[in-house]
Amino acid sequence: MEQANQVPKIVTSRIGLDESWGIKTYLATGGYTALRKALTSMTPEQVADEVSKSNLLGRGGAGFEVGRKWSMLKPAPVRYLVVNGDESEPATFKDHMLIENDPHQIVEGTLISAYAVGAARAFIFVRGEFALGLERLQAAVNEAYAYGAIGRNIFGSGFSVDLVVHPGAGAYICGEETALLESLEGKRGNPRIKPPYFPAVMGLYGEPTIVNNVESMSNIPWIVNNGGASFAALGVGRSTGTRIFALAGHVNRPGNYEVEMAKLTFRDLVDRPEYGGGMRLGRQVKAFIPGGVSAPWFGPDQLDMPLSQDDVAKAGSMLGSGSIVMMDDHTCMVRAAWRIAKFFWRESCGQCTPCREGSGWIEKMMRRIELGSGRESDLDLLMDACDNIAPGLTWPPQQTTICVLGPSIPSSVASAIRMFRDEFLVHIKEGGCPYE
């Protein structure tokens, strides 16, 4: 991976190295020095302080400060740490890369965090479909046990913890942290009803639990080695450090790019030769999704917005999982939105009514329009059905559902209808898709 400016690569420094996933490479590139440092020369609260100072925002999608999350942990003798590697948000593929290519970095970050929060046991929940990732992460854990980085009295520090790699079994909803905990408890992956809002209060087995994303954990060793302040010096405002953006769709060079937060714009990422290299076939941007398919869409006029959590939020969408999907002017917006609606229909857990029934109904209407049997009244009906899941269709959304999968359903459908109503009408009037 190339990097134009002098910004350090914090989480992707080993990508591309020979056997980047093995402990040999890891140790040769400074691996486990941060763990040793934390365990032998820092108190848990000092580690937590550095993370707080870094203002590291969670990289899973919600963007909640990691340090603040840790500080909410209810004091109790039994607490757990769960690392969320269930990356399933469509067009997001950064955690997949990290798990396969730098698993030791995740393990090290996890162990440091377990020390900082005093976890009794750590679990890394990996999306079941990541077979290679599971193998490499398990191999890394085996190596780390042998190296003395996991288990009893790590590095002679008196701190002991076990770490378990747990495979998922194929359900998008398990990326939602409370659904993930249910799944880790061996149950159906239904998100839990709130309150309590935070697993830090009531998590795995009802005990206080910290749930952090794989990329978040990958940042921890660097923060411990370089200090929270150095991390916070990167980026703008609340958006500190670097972040991996997963660029996909109609660009010449789709891929994962680690860039400094909030310094570049969407256009930079798409057009610069070291990143996206411009739109495929020199076509124009018709629309793009700024942060995973749960996010409302943006149009070409928003390309110059910085890659900053707050700016994107202000404009009515989110950076979410860090996935950016570019759609060129040859794209059928009805089909794109239908496919995303179909995704949510297939992935709804089915526990609460508006999501279970609404997702299927919306998918059926979208399919009908794309296939040429739409009615003009369907558009208002679609918007109203969306409104009954996310009242007001505002962002951040309100919801009639238990979890945020509900209000994610309308994001694409409502965006497409609002931005491309004419295209829907063409489908309806011509009785089919004009792009076929």
Q: Which of residues 240-259 bind other proteins (CB under 8 A)?
A: 246-250, 254-256
Q: By CB under 8 A, tell whether 358 contacts other proteins.
A: yes
Work out the burial of residue 433: count CB atoms within 10 Å of its CB; fewer than 13 is exposed, 13-18 middle, 19 or more buried. Answer: middle
Amino acid at position 374, single letter: G
DSSP type of residue 426: H
- Distance of closest approach, residue 142 Cβ to other proteins, in angstroms: 4
The secondary structure of 237-271 as a DSSP string is TTEESEEEEEEEESBSS-EEEEEETTTSBHHHHHH
Task: Tokens for 414, please give them.
Answer: 């409502």
Q: By CB under 8 A, tell whether 413 contacts other proteins.
A: no
- Distance of closest approach, residue 133 Cβ to other proteins, in angstroms: 9
| Pick 255 or 300: Cβ nearer other proteins | 255
| Pick 130 or 198: Cβ nearer other proteins | 130
Fill in the per-residue mask, 155 to 194: x = in contact with other proteins (CB under 8 A), - = not in contact: ---xxxxx-xxxxxxxxx----------xxxxxxx---x-
Reported for 192-195, long-range contacts at CB under 8 A and 24+ positions apart, including other chains, are: 192/402, 193/402, 194/402
Q: By CB under 8 A, tell whether 359 contacts other proteins.
A: yes
Interface segment toward other proteins; rule CB under 8 A; list 28-36, 87-95, 104-112, 312-320: 87-95
- Distance of closest approach, residue 238 Cβ to other proteins, in angstroms: 19
| Pick 184 or 264: Cβ nearer other proteins | 184
| Pick 49 or 230: Cβ nearer other proteins | 49
- Distance of closest approach, residue 245 Cβ to other proteins, in angstroms: 12
DSSP type of residue 370: H
CA distance 385 to 243: 35
- Distance of closest approach, residue 189 Cβ to other proteins, in angstroms: 6
Q: By CB under 8 A, tell whether 131 contacts other proteins.
A: yes
Angle, to 10 degrees, between the axis of helix 405-419 and the axis of helix 377-387? 150
CA 418 to chain CA centroid, Å, is 26
147 three-class SS: helix
Question: Contact at 8 Å (CB) between 223 and 50?
Answer: yes
Considering only 16, 75, 301, 422, the residue that binds other proteins (CB under 8 A) is 75
Residue 47 to residues 37, 57, 89, 332: CA-CA distances in angstroms? Answer: 10, 16, 30, 50
Of residues 257-316, those binding other proteins (CB under 8 A): 289, 293
Fill in the per-residue mask, 326 to 355: x = in contact with other proteins (CB under 8 A), - = not in contact: -x---x---xx--xx--x-xxxxxxxxxx-
Q: By CB under 8 A, tell whether 401 contacts other proteins.
A: yes
